[in-house]
Amino acid sequence: MQTQTLENALVREDLFPINGTDHIEFYVGNAKQACHFYQSAFGFDLIAYRGPETGDREKISYVLRQGKITFVLTSALDPGHDIARHVHEHGDGIKVLALWVDDAAEAYQTALERGAVSAFPLQMMEDAHGQVRMAAIKTYGETIHTFVERSGYQGAFLPGFAPKASSMEVRPLGFKYVDHCVGNVPLGEMNQWVDFYQKVMGFNLLVTFDDKDISTDYTALMSKVVSNGNGYIKFPINEPAEGKKKSQIEEYLDFYRGAGVQHVAIATDDIIYSVDQLRKNGVEFLHVPEVYYDSLPERIGSIKEDLEALKRLNILVDRDEEGYLLQIFTKPVQDRPTVFYEIIQREGAKSFGKGNFKALFEAIEREQALRGTL
């Protein structure tokens, strides 16, 4: 059962104002090569760089942008650096979900007063292009939320970064913004993290999925979605539920060695173009059998997209009370079966594709079986 909560309908004062996602930072084994992947396969532009040439001898970061999405890829240069330990432990993964706020000091203080744990205290950074203030709190696993206050900063990314352009031809794929970021946590911890987002950051519980919504013959999971006051930030939190075999969430937790970000959903206005290009660029997607499309017209009703194109590209469709959405999921984008992407086009629908869960989880199970983890 999908349970809409009362809070969903209430208009409340926003007690923790967040403008949107500022950036997502990945800790990776080889930032230079990851940077090539996000340019050549995902169509991101390289915009900034930090490393020895800019005065940082410990780590290297490449900053990529497409639409309103900013990714930072960071690697350690020193084997003793905590970034190197993080990569050793988790593989390539997401360390920072950074949130854009108007007052970093206030956001940080408020969060701490409400029980958050500090990741780093307020820092003021400045260069010729202006000032940025940042502070961070811990969330699930080793993931952190940095509060970024830009105060009209005019530089390429942050003080300390130099502008850097792509040295290759980059074709943007129509990516607009981060739609949602999903976290996987161990069994029994989902409610704790949902409470954290509600109490510390004033998020609302949008929707709850239980193991009856999200289960196949073999695996099950539970999920709750929390969202900030203006609705721009949506964080679904998953935990495994008991199934006959190892769930995809347990597989993630085993390979990531703990809780972490499972997927980032990227919004596009033209999913057919985006996915067509991604496929041409070599990005691999989960495969849903053709039979999925047989019952699609009666389940979904009329949509403006060409059904044959959706079928050819294996794009999924779901409908809710407010409209429909189109979505597809990549395979994991690093060696470990951990982080992956969702590409999503919303045509009015504000939900998460519940009607596709079964087909998707069966597709994931086929991949798990190939890995010998199911």
Residues of this chain that interact with Fe ion (CB under 5 A) are 265, 342
Of 83 and 222, the one with the shorter C-beta distance to Fe ion is 222
* CB-nearer residue toward Fe ion: 49 or 340: 340
Nearest distance from C-beta of residue 310 to Fe ion, angstroms: 18
Q: Which is nearer to Fe ion, 76 or 363 (CB)?
A: 363
Residue 251 or 342: which CB sits closer to Fe ion? 342
Residue number with CB closer to Fe ion (265 or 275)? 265
Q: For the CB of residue 277, give the shortest distance to Fe ion in the complex, in Å.
A: 20
What is the closest distance, in whole angstroms, from the C-beta atom of residue 263 to Fe ion in the complex? 6
- Taking the complex as a whole, the smallest distance from the CB of residue 363 to Fe ion amounts, in Å, to 14
Closer Cβ to Fe ion, 134 or 265, answer by number: 265
Closest approach of Cβ 182 to Fe ion, in Å?
Answer: 5
Closest distance to Fe ion from the beta carbon of 329 (Å):
8
CA angle 335, 336, 339 (to 5 degrees): 100
